[in-house]
Amino acid sequence: MPGRRDGRCEYDRERRSTIASCRKGATALTGDSLLDSATIQEISRLFLPNRWHYHYARTKLATDPVYAVVTDALVGTHAPLLDLGCGVGLLPHYAQARGISLEYLGVDNDVRKLALARAVAVRGALRNARFETVDLAQGFPEHRGSVAILDLLQFLPVGRVADFLALAADCVSAEGRLIIRTGLNDDGWRTRLTRAADHLARAIRWMHAGPRSYPTREFLVKHLEAQGLELMFTPMRCNTPFNNWLIVARRS
C-alpha cells in the first residue's frame, strides 16, 4: 500500500518538524527523542478495548512534545523518577520505548486514571513502575532522584505553590532533574487561552479541578534558586496558541 506508507512518512516528517521547533535553543536536551508511528500505535493499543482511551493515548503521544523533551532531559541520569500528577501513566511507556530505564513512581488523586495506568503497565510489561494514589494538596510522597511536574502547578491552591515547589526541589538528588511544564502568567492572550483550555478540561471532567493561578517566571526563579537549583527555560508553544514552557532544573 504505497499511499499509506507515503502518508505515514509525511506524518512523521511533520511531527519531527513540529517538535524540532519546540526544542530549538534547548541545547541541554539531547538524544533521538521521537518515537515512530508504529511504536506509538503499539503503546496506544495497550489502552484497548476502550476506544476513547486508545485515541487519547495515540493523539497525546503523537502530538504532544512533552514526552520527547522530558525523556531528553532524563538522558544520562539513572536517578529514580517521581511523576507528580501522572494521569494515565504515558510517560514511563515513552521512556521505556526509548530505552531509558529508571525506577518510576507515578502519583495522582484520580483513582480511575490510576486504575487504568496500572492495567496498561501490566499489559505493556513496564519495568520498575509503580502508581500510587496521593492527594498532593494534602501530602507529598517521599522520594530522592528526579521529579516531573507536568501541567499541574495551575491546579494547586495559590498559597501552597511555593511550599510545593520547595518539597519537590528537596527531592532532587545530585544527579536528578526537576522537570516542569507549565503555563506562565504574563497577562498575554496566550495565558488567557491556556486558562480557557484548562477550564474546558474541567468541564468535560477530565480534570478534577479548574485552574487557580499560573506562576510567573520570576516566581519560579525566586523559589527554586532558593533551593539551590539552576534553571533553564524553554518555550513549548510548538505551533499552538498556548503559553507553555519547559523548565529543567539541576543542583548548582
Closest by CA to 194, choosing from 153, 164, 161, 231, is 153
Task: Tell whether the torsion through CA atoms of 184, 185, 191 and 194 is positive or negative.
Answer: positive
Pick 202 or 161 by higher pLDDT: 161
Which domains does the chain show, CATH number per domain?
2-251 (3.40.50.150)
Q: What is the pTM of this model?
A: 0.81
* Whole-number Å distance between alpha carbons of 83 and 106: 5
pLDDT of 221 over the 60 cut:
yes
Q: What is the pLDDT of residue 201?
A: 54
The secondary structure of 47-101 as a DSSP string is TTT-HHHHHHHHHHHHH-THHHHHHHHHTT----EEEET-TT-HHHHHHHHTT--
Q: What pLDDT is recorded for position 191? A: 57
Report residue 191: phi and psi, to 5°: -65, -40
**3-class secondary structure, 151:** coil
Q: At what angle do helices 37-45 and 2-23 cross, to 10 degrees?
A: 90
Q: Which carries the bigger pLDDT value, residue 66 or residue 15?
A: 66
Across the beta sheet with 178-183, the strand order is 129-133, 104-108, 81-84, 146-150, 178-183, 244-251, 229-235
Name the pLDDT band for 238 (thresholds 50, 70, 90): low
Q: How high is the pLDDT of residue 86?
A: 96
Q: Between these two residues, 211 and 45, which has the higher pLDDT value? A: 45
User: What integer is the mean pLDDT of 165-181?
Assistant: 97
Taking only the tens place, the pLDDT of each residue in 111-166 is: 999 999 999 999 999 999 999 999 987 889 999 999 999 999 988 888 899 999 99
The three-state secondary structure class of 210 is: coil
Which class for 230: exposed (0-12), middle (13-18), buried (19 or more C-beta within 10 A)? exposed
Please report the pLDDT score of residue 207 as a whole number.
52
pLDDT tens figures, 9-33: 443 444 454 455 444 434 333 446 8
